[in-house]
Every structure is written in C-alpha cells, then in structure tokens.
A = this chain, B = another copy of it.
C-alpha cells in the first residue's frame, strides 16, 4: 500500500453519452470541440470534476450546461483510464449515460458548442476513446433496459405503443412481433391508456399512453420478467 500522496498528476473528468430517440432511431448528442487539443472534431460532452463536487454532480452540471435540462436519468458507466488515452495529459474519465426526452431538449444553449444528434448506427469519428465510450454505454443501456423499464425516460409524457416498440427495436437493433410486445407491455400495468389518439403517424391512429409512475417505481424489477422470479431485490 502506498501512503497518502498529494503529488498525483492524474486529472479526473466526466464524459456524457447523451441518448435520445427521434421516433425512428436511437441517437447520441455530440459536440464539436472548440478548444485544443482536437479542436473542431466531434466528441462527447465532458468536463473536469471540480474539487468540491462529486463525479455525479459534475456529470449533471456538464449535461445541464449543454442541454439546460436537470433531473435527467443518468447512470454511471465505465471508467476509461488508460495512461495514453489522451496524448498531452493524464486524464481519467468517468462515463455517464443520460436518457433524455428530445422534446424537452429544444435548442443548444451555449454558443461554444455546435451540438448535433447522430444516429447510433452512423456517427462521425470521435476523439480519443470516445467511440469506445459510446459502445460501452450502449451495451450497458441494452443490459439495463432488459432488466428495468428505463427506456421510458427517452419518451415524452404521452406516447403510443408503436412508438415504444420502435424504441425497443432501435435499442436492440432487432424487429419483434408487435402483437406479442404490446400484450406483454399492457399486462405489466406499466402504462395507462389515455383518451386521445395520435393521428400523425397512421390512418387509424394509435392511442396515447402515459407511464404509471407508481408501478414504474415499485414494480420496476418485474417489468417484462427478464429476471427470474426468485431474484430478491432490485
């Protein structure tokens, strides 16, 4: 064991993988760096952890700075700390993924950034190891979304079943039987049917639903029963 030392030259940063859903595909929000190194290249939004803040707080701060949003669903994912991951300094970065409702994200706040949504299937080459960060966040999102109904965080207040289906299909990049999907979802009691219909996307129109937040919080585990029933806790 090394004793306490105050001379560590390691900088601690956070990077945010910001996921959104445009109704068709899963997207990431990227910025064009306006500072060196790697100025004008696409990257994740990030920032340094300040002496008086926790990494979680740093991530929220950074997210708010770009999107203006607070109380967003965020989750810590992996830490990237290879000594050579940035060429000029030793920065260890803690990644967070955020799920945002793109209807709430209306405009870029800061003049500093040239932010843009890109589909996860096809985004530009990023600086450093940011591609890996996205890949690992995406993997984690898939695992998590199979266990917990977190994908609702990506949807607006009102949504239709075909929308949710499209979202799941986008996340897993797979098609599945909408009939079985909707039955399973409805039987979970996780969503509440509204009177109103969405007439934009089909002739017949699809009923809007809203999230049953009580069930969402309470029954969050048993959702589509992706964990066995004996599994003790969340």
Contacts and interface: CB of A to CB of B under 8 A. Distances in A.
A48 B2 contact: yes
Integer count of this chain's copies in the complex: 2
Contact of A228 (B92, B226, B231, B233): B226
B174 A232 contact: yes
Nearest to A11: B8
Nearest to A53: B83
A163 interface: no
B232 A83 contact: no
Interface stretch (A22-30, A73-81, A189-197): A73-81
A139 B227 CA distance: 14
Contacts of A103: none
A173 B54 contact: no
Nearest to A94: B79
A176 B230 contact: yes
A118 to B, nearest CB: 19
8 contacts: A5-B48, A9-B51, A51-B90, A54-B81, A56-B81, A76-B79, A139-B233, A226-B226
Interface of A: 1-6, 8-12, 35, 45-56, 62, 65, 76, 78-79, 81-83, 88-90, 92, 94, 112, 139, 142-143, 146-147, 172-174, 176, 224, 226-228, 230-233
Given A52-B83, A55-B92, 12 more contacts: A2-B47, A4-B11, A8-B11, A10-B51, A12-B92, A53-B83, A139-B233, A146-B228, A146-B231, A174-B232, A224-B228, A226-B228
